[in-house]
Structures are given as C-alpha cells and as structure tokens.
C-alpha cells in the first residue's frame, strides 16, 4: 500500500506535469486560440480491471466500464496536445458484494489530459497523463468520500484512420481528505475514435 505522503506526491506530480505541459498554451504570443480552434474531438470507451494488493485496498475482481468525450488541441505546433476530458459514465462493479446491498457505483468526472505524440502528424505512438475530479454515487469499498480524484497515465497508438487503442494505469483516491482512503488501482484497455 502506498503511504499517504507518496500518494500526495503522485497527485501533486501528476497535476504539476499537466500544468507544465500546458503552460505554453496559455501564453498570449503563440496563438493559443488559433491552436484551440484547430483541435478535434476524441471519444473513447474503456474497460478496467482492479489490481490485486494486500489488505483493504485489494481490488482484484473489481471491474468497470467507462466512456469519455474530449476536445484535444495542439500546444504551439509541438508534439504535445492537451485536452479537456469528461467521463459522463463510469460504472464500477465491486467484487466483495454485500448481499443486502447494491454495490454498483456510478460515477462521472471532468478534467485535463496532456498527450505527447512521437511525430507531428499526431498518429502512431503516444503517451498521456490526466487528472480529473470524480463524483461517485456510492462509496468505494474502504473509501469514505463521494468526491475523489481520478489520475491516469498510459500509452497508446493512433492509427491513420483516426482510431486509437491505449493501455492505462488509473488511480482513484480522495487524497486523504477523508478517512479511510484505500484507493482504487486499475489497468484499463481503451478503444477510441477522433473526429
């Protein structure tokens, strides 16, 4: 299990990295709005599976489905692109069900993502990092908050026909704003299309 200070450092690092990668986008002399207007939409569906770990944070057997919609644009004609991503639907199924209770969680999130493409055609290999506040209808097992942070990083491949696949590590946690805070660690496989 990750210590409290390590979790905070991961969240701080993720947020700082996204802000650092997007900082040029908000400079007035580089045509931010021109780049923004030349952006595109991305839709994505993913399936995630909880990772095994020791103790109360074990998520082995948990799984979830999510869809996202994102507007992505280039940061000053570079390999970097940034996006505003919404997860309007995330449905999470917990493995250790309480027989008298429905443990299915419905969630939604909205946040930022930064993506680095290997080439300037924005096709082929890429890596990404994102962070978003997430609201969940029920509590995750051993987590005391309805508001959490969804942090994610991963890599993918965008094909010439605008379809893409990605593999992501996702972490859901309340950042120790409430106790207990046994987060969700999961691997997700995503399939999406840009238009």
DSSP readout, 134-159? Answer: EEESSPPTTB--SEEEEEEEEEEEE-
| DSSP state at residue 8 | H
The three state secondary structure string of 14-58 is HHHHHHHHHHHHHCHHHCHHHHHHCCEEEEEEEEEEECCCCHHHC
Phi, psi of 139, deg, nearest 5: -80, 140
- What does the pLDDT read at residue 76? 77
Calculate the average pLDDT of the chain.
86
Look up the CATH number of domain 4-194. 2.40.160.20
Tell me whether strands 124-136 and 40-50 are parallel, antiparallel or unpaired: unpaired
pLDDT reading at 20 higher than 90? no
The H or E element that residue 66 is part of is: strand 63-74
Are 112 and 83 in contact, with CB atoms under 8 Å apart?
Answer: yes
Place 22 in a pLDDT band, splitting at 50, 70 and 90. low
Question: Residues 6 or more apart from 83 whose CB is under 8 A from it?
Answer: 39, 42, 70, 71, 72, 73, 112, 113, 114, 115
**pLDDT, average across residues 96-117:** 84
- What does the pLDDT read at residue 18? 67
pLDDT reading at 12 higher than 90? no
Overall pTM > 0.85: no
- Any idea where the domains of the chain sit in the sequence? 4-194
């Amino acid at each position: 299990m990750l210590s409290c200070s390590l979790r905070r450092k991961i969240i701080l690092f993720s947020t700082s990295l996204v802000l650092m990668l997007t900082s040029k986008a908000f400079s007035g002399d580089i045509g931010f709005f021109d780049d923004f207007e030349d952006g595109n939409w991305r839709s994505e569906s993913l399936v995630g599976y909880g990772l095994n770990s020791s103790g109360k944070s074990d998520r082995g057997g948990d799984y979830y489905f999510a869809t996202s919609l994102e507007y992505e644009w280039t940061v000053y004609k570079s390999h970097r692109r940034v996006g505003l991503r919404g997860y309007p639907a995330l449905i999470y199924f917990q493995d250790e069900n309480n027989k008298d209770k429905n443990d299915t969680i419905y969630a939604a999130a909205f946040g930022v993502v930064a993506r680095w493409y290997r080439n300037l055609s924005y096709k082929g290999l890429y890596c990404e990092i994102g962070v978003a506040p997430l609201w969940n209808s029920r509590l995750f097992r051993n987590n005391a908050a309805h508001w959490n942070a969804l942090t994610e990083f991963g890599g993918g491949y965008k094909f010439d026909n605008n379809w893409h696949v990605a593999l992501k590590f996702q972490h859901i946690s309340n950042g120790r704003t409430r106790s207990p805070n046994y987060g969700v660690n999961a691997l997700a496989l995503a399939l999406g299309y840009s238009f």
